[in-house]
């Protein structure tokens, strides 16, 4: 598991630790995110039909950024505990955003008082080797947002930055 760090401009909140892991599969990838802390004091989107939907990042959600090594192109996945998802392709840093092709995304989420776990399996073309970011956005009951990533560039939270892509994947298992 990779330990994610809280952006330095964010206030401490109900979540104390965030970890995530990812592995390539023959069809795409499989990932797991784990929040630890006072789960009762964060907003968790209600379960819903699995479908593509924009603006999931406005509340508690998880993200995967996948960039083929040596390329400026990257793919972004937004994964909600509700089971809704989004997937976008970019030609370069926030350039030419468009819906990306996805064959299938499955999301399961479970939680207790001290832990929330989201697991996903994604069937989508994901070239290797790749540099990857696993990120979490956590909204508390007062509407405050925390941003978690493997690393951040200086300044405001910016998940699109290559600085966040600290996980290096060489090949399929």
pTM recorded for the entire structure: 0.95
Q: Which domains does the chain have, with CATH numbers?
A: 2-169 (2.60.40.1190)
List the one residue out of 157, 6, 130 whose CA is nearest residue 64.
130
Please give the structure tokens belonging to residue 91: 């030609």
Give residue-wise pLDDT tens across range 120-172. 999 999 999 999 999 999 999 999 999 999 999 999 999 999 999 999 999 65
Give residue-wise pLDDT tens across range 62-75. 999 999 999 999 99
Distance, CA of 116 to CA of 151 (rounded, Å)? 21
How big is the chain by its Cα radius of gyration, in Å? 15
């Amino acid at each position: 598991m990779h330990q994610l760090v809280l952006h330095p401009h964010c206030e401490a909140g109900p979540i104390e630790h965030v970890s995530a892991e990812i592995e390539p599969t023959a069809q795409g990838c499989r990932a797991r995110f784990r929040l630890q802390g006072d789960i009762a004091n964060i907003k968790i989107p209600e379960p819903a039909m699995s479908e593509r939907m924009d603006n999931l990042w406005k509340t508690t959600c998880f993200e995967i950024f996948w960039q083929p090594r040596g390329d400026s192109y990257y793919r972004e996945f937004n994964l909600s505990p509700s089971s809704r998802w989004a997937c976008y392709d970019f030609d370069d840093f926030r350039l030419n955003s468009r819906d990306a092709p996805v064959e299938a995304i499955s999301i399961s989420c479970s939680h207790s008082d001290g832990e929330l776990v989201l697991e996903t399996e994604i069937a989508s073309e994901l070239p290797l080797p790749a540099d990857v970011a696993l990120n979490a956005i956590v909204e508390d009951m007062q509407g405050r947002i925390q941003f978690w990533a493997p690393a951040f560039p200086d300044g405001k939270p910016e998940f699109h930055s290559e600085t966040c892509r600290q996980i290096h994947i060489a090949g399929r298992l």
